Each structure stands twice: as structure tokens, then as C-alpha cells.
A and B are shown apart, each in its own frame.
Chain A
Amino acid sequence: MTTLDADTVRHLSEAQVSVELQTEDMTLNIGPQHPSTHGVLRLVARVNGEQAYDVKPVIGYMHRGYEKLSEVRTYPQITTIVNRIDWVSGYANEVPFIVAAEKLMEIEVPERAQYIRLILTEMARISSHLVFNASYPLELGAATPLFFALRERERILDLLESVTGGRFHPNFNRIGGVKPAYGSGSTTRKQVQDLPAGFLAETRNAMDQVAIAVDELENLVAGNEIILARTKGIGILPPEVAAAYGVSGPNLRASGVPFDLRKTQDYLPYDKFDFDVITGENGDCWDRWYVRLAEIRESAKLVQQAIDSIPSGPLQAKVPKVIKVPKGETYVRAENPKGEMGYYLVSDGGSGPYRLKIRSASFSNISMLPWILEGALVPDIIAIMGSLDFVLGDVDR
């Protein structure tokens, strides 16, 4: 038997301690099939207990090569592709592309068409933000706000469908205006090509309803202590980091930057209307949720103002039957529900673009995931990812 002198005892105890405390990190694969990754995002994280390190997003499960495809398609065909990028707000994706093509062709779009585009874009924004407001509390464990939000979204989608024929992929824009749909006006029996009768009045009502529902949602979600505990101070994104990563849209505004492309760009006549740019204070999950909620109200306000002042006139400018876009390059950026959506269009005078660079918001928005998720707890990973409101189609294009 070995004698237990002080030295051996110390060694033994140390050995004991080191054996007992030996822990191993676990590699956790979140996705591509996981309830909270909004599709097929995959995160590879090193997990120590509940804490995650070295989070590596793996994307591309949904890459459809739209940039390549658009090189072999004509301009009218590309609108069908681009509204599949961010399918939650399909309509809003078409607008900047069409505006880019119109810019190169130097077409003056009739004002009524511009107003219709604005109305539908804002409705797409409302529906996208409502999806966020539905899914975000669900990711935090509250199931009921989902139904409150989706009920309102259904209202919006029904109206969008009544005009465009599609709930998700409207494909309603044409170069030079919007698709002339047969409808009948309220004051004449003559068949005219315009919005369906009663659409504007219905939409105005729907916006009133949405405004009420937003108050209801705020009451339901914001008044909840647990939601506050789960989102306040979680996933803080400083404005400098957001800018360097190209994080845009509500995520950027939640970090306190009052930057809204609707105020600075002229792709749609936003300068004619009065709306506020909503900003957050701390850039945490709570602010990102709140900014989106409040933006629904602003969008509803915009739609109502646009309906009140929509001019009459044609829906389409005169465009050639065969669309050929003159040689040139332009970049048109727009404030989409998810953030900055832009198209860098290089045309060589042909019927399709020579190169179309699609700048999608979610791609940049989630490129900072490794930064923001470093050291986060697993439940916070879900809370942070949900608050960024990305769509995989918008990431992978």
C-alpha cells in the first residue's frame, strides 16, 4: 500500500478534480430541418451546456441561381423570378427591378400606376410584418398571437389576390406600369382596365381593421412580462456593426438609425405622403419586434393616404410590344419589408439583361449571425434569429 504523504494526496485530489470537471463541448447542428430556422438555414454551433460558441451559418440549401437564370430570360419573364426571392412579400420584390428597367428605357410611368404600386407594396409590407408578428411570439413559446396576426394577414392577402390574382407571387408589374386587369368602375358600366371595383374602399376598411388589430397585438404581446424578460437586452446590435455588415431595414432602424430608403429614394412617390420612420433605442430583440409592429401602422397610414389621393389615368405607359432595354447600367434600391432590396442591372440593349446583381436584404442581415450569436444561450439563439426576420429565399436567391 502506498503511503499517503502530502504530495501524493495533493496529486490524487487534483486528479480527482480534473476528472470530475472534464467537460466536453458538443457540436450542435441546428437545421436545416428545424422548427425555428425559417426554412433551410443550418447553424453549426459548439455548445457548452446551453451556451453556444463559434456559430457557423451554412446556407445555400435553397440556392436557385436567379442571377444566372435572369441572364437567359427576357425582362418580362424575370418578374416571375424575382417575386420568388422574398416570398413573404413577393410583390415588393418586383418593384425595384421594374423601376430599374424603366429607368434604362426612360419610361415615365403613369401616376396612377405608381400609386397602385405604392399601395400594393405597403400591403406587402404589412403582410410581411404580420408574418413576423405571428412567428416571433411563437418562437418564444406563445402560440396565440400567431392567429391574431395571420387573421389580419389573410385580409391583406385576399385583397392582394383580388387585384393581382396571386396571394404570394402576384407578378403584377409590367414595364411601364401595372398589369391592366379588367374590372368595372363604380360610375359606369363600361368595361375599363383598372383595379377591381370596390378594391380601394375595401382596402381602406381593411387598413382600419389592421390598425385595430395592431393595437390588440401590442396589448397581447407587449404587456407580457415574460416576453419582456426574453427580449429586452437580448441580441443587442450596435449601429456601427449593423452598417458594416449591411444590415438594413427594420433591423437597422431598431438600432437607432433613422434610415429609410422610402424617404431618400424616388422609386415610388413616397415623398407625397406623410409617415414616420420608426426607430428603436437599444437595438435588442424587443426593439426589432416593436419597430416592425409600429411600421404596420405607418404602412396602413400610407395606404390610406394613397387611396385618398390616387389620381385617375392610365395604368400603363406606351411601351413597345417587344421589350428591349437600351444599353446602360443602373442600381435601384428599395426599402423592402426585410430591408434594402436592390437590383444592379447591366443591359446591353438586348431583350434580357447581361448581368443582374440581386441585392437581397436577408442575406446581409444574417451575415452577422456569427458575430451576434457568439456566447448566446440556445434559447436566445432562437430569440435573436427570429427577431432578424429573414426568409431563406431572400438569403439564398
Chain B
Amino acid sequence: MTQSPSEGEAAASAPEEAEVHPLQEFADRVAAAVGGDAEIQFDTVKVKVPADQWVDAHQTARDDLDLVFFSWLSAIDWANEVEAGDPLSEEVDERFEVMSALSDLTDGNLVVMSTDLDKEEASLATLTSVYAGANWHEREAYEMFGIDFAGHPQLEHLYLPDSFAGNPLLKSYPLLSREVKPWPGTVDVEAMPEKDEPTTENPES
């Protein structure tokens, strides 16, 4: 049942063998223009770019590829040791993956730009000069992950009080309420007793 598509090239064609994904052409176009590697997973185009080309890649995407709509920016904390939630099933490189989603306003094609950051010196150039909307998203990523956005006009807490210490979305940040008392909902994960299959007959249509 768990059929996990492997990383990289193979994932592009994992769901439908041999058949070219309808987004493949778009993905290749973006990858070629910004100079990154494209990957299609479950209808989502992700283009990996090096961290030092982060702003240039977005500039190109906006100006040459017409990806003018800035949807969101966030990050993933890839960590082998977690304080909250389930740990990863296999070892990964410890890193931050910063992602931004750009879209055009005609066909609804969306590309997720992604770059890896070293956890020790997590710093990335700000996108605010390219997309004004990156302002709040970068502030959110800054307070939630502790990622520094160089050149950001107002890099301060967005949601959390100024005095808040720590970066809540880091996997090393425990969820205090769970520490005190385990979530009673976990029982739901256990198998339910077998019941009769629901009738699928539907007279009213």
C-alpha cells in the first residue's frame, strides 16, 4: 500500500509509467529558465535552485516566465530527531528547505521553488524586492524557523509576541501540551472494530 516515490528523476514519472505528465513541459521550461532541477510529484512542480541564485531565479520567473502571482513562502525543517510528531522513516540530510510558490494568472500553473539551507547558518536573500508580498511570509518563516532573510526591511516577529523565545515550527521544539499530557486522540489511530459495509445503493439521484 505504501508506494513511496523515490527522490529525484524517477519521481517525475512514478505515478503513470511512460506517460508524459501534462505539466512536464511547463516544468522543463521553468527549470531551463531559472537554471534548476525540476521534479513533478503528484501534480506539483518543484524546481530546486541553489541558495545563491534564489533571488535571480525569482526575478527570472517573474519577468520571463510570467509567474507574477506570489502565493506563499515557507520552509520545512528536515530533522532526524524530532520532539513533536512522528520521526522520519529514514535518515535525511539535516537542512532547512525553503520553498516559495509562484503562479501565473492565466493557466493556473504553479511552481514551487525550493532551496536547501544549512541549519547552522540559515540565511537567504530576501525576495521583497521581487515580490512585495514576500514580506510577511519571510517574517513568518523567520520567527517559526529562525531563518534569516538578508536585506529584509522589517525582520521582526509577525504572529508571536516580541518576547517569545524559540522557533515553534522547528522539529526540535516540543509541543508543551503534549509533553504534559499525551493526546487522547491517539486512540483513534488504532484499528476500529469491523462493521458492516455501508450500503452503496442510492435511490435518490
Contact = CB atoms under 8 A, between A and B. Distances in A.
Touching in the complex, A and B, CB below 8 A? yes
Interface of A: 59-60, 63, 65, 67-69, 71-74, 76-77, 103-104, 106, 112, 180, 185-188, 190-195, 197, 200, 239-241, 243-248, 252, 257, 259, 261, 263-265, 310-316, 320-322, 324, 326-331, 333, 340, 342, 344, 346, 348-352, 354-355, 357, 359, 363-364, 367-368, 371, 396
Contacts, number: 200
Interface residues of B, number: 66
Nearest to B79: A354
A91 B36 CA distance: 38
Contact of A244 (B15, B131, B158, B202): B131
A187 B203 contact: yes
A351 B2 CA distance: 12
B10 interface: no
Contact of B105 (A74, A243, A371): A243
Contacts of B200: 193, 313-315
B106 interface: yes
B2 A67 contact: no
Contact of B72 (A316, A330, A357): A357
B178 interface: yes
A193 B188 CA distance: 22
The interface centre, meaning the residue of A68, A74, A329, A340 with most chain B CB atoms within 10 A of its CB, is: A329
A244 B68 contact: yes
Nearest to A182: B198
A246 B185 contact: no
A149 B48 CA distance: 48
B101 A331 contact: yes
Contacts of B201: 190, 192
The B interface, classified by DSSP as helix, strand, loop or mixed, is loop
Contacts of B89: 327, 348-350
11 contacts: A59-B158, A185-B202, A190-B201, A200-B204, A244-B68, A259-B69, A265-B108, A328-B41, A328-B42, A333-B71, A368-B132
B85 A103 contact: no
B1 A320 contact: yes
A93 B68 CA distance: 25
B188 A359 contact: no
B159 A60 contact: yes
Contact of A330 (B1, B44, B85, B188): B44
B146 interface: no
Nearest to A264: B108
B147 interface: no
Contacts of A59: 158-159
Contacts of A185: 202-204
B168 A68 contact: yes
Nearest to A105: B1
B31 interface: no
Contacts of A72: 84-85, 175, 178, 183
B163 interface: no
Contacts of A359: 71-72, 101
Closest 9 CB pairs of A and B: A264-B108, A327-B4, A312-B205, A185-B203, A60-B159, A314-B200, A245-B133, A330-B42, A71-B85
A243 B72 contact: no
Given A68-B84, A243-B70, A342-B71, A326 B101 contact: no
A77 B72 CA distance: 25
A104 B15 CA distance: 10
Contacts of A344: 72, 74, 99, 101, 112
Contacts of B190: 322
Contact of B46 (A67, A240, A329, A367): A329
B86 A364 contact: no
B192 A352 contact: no
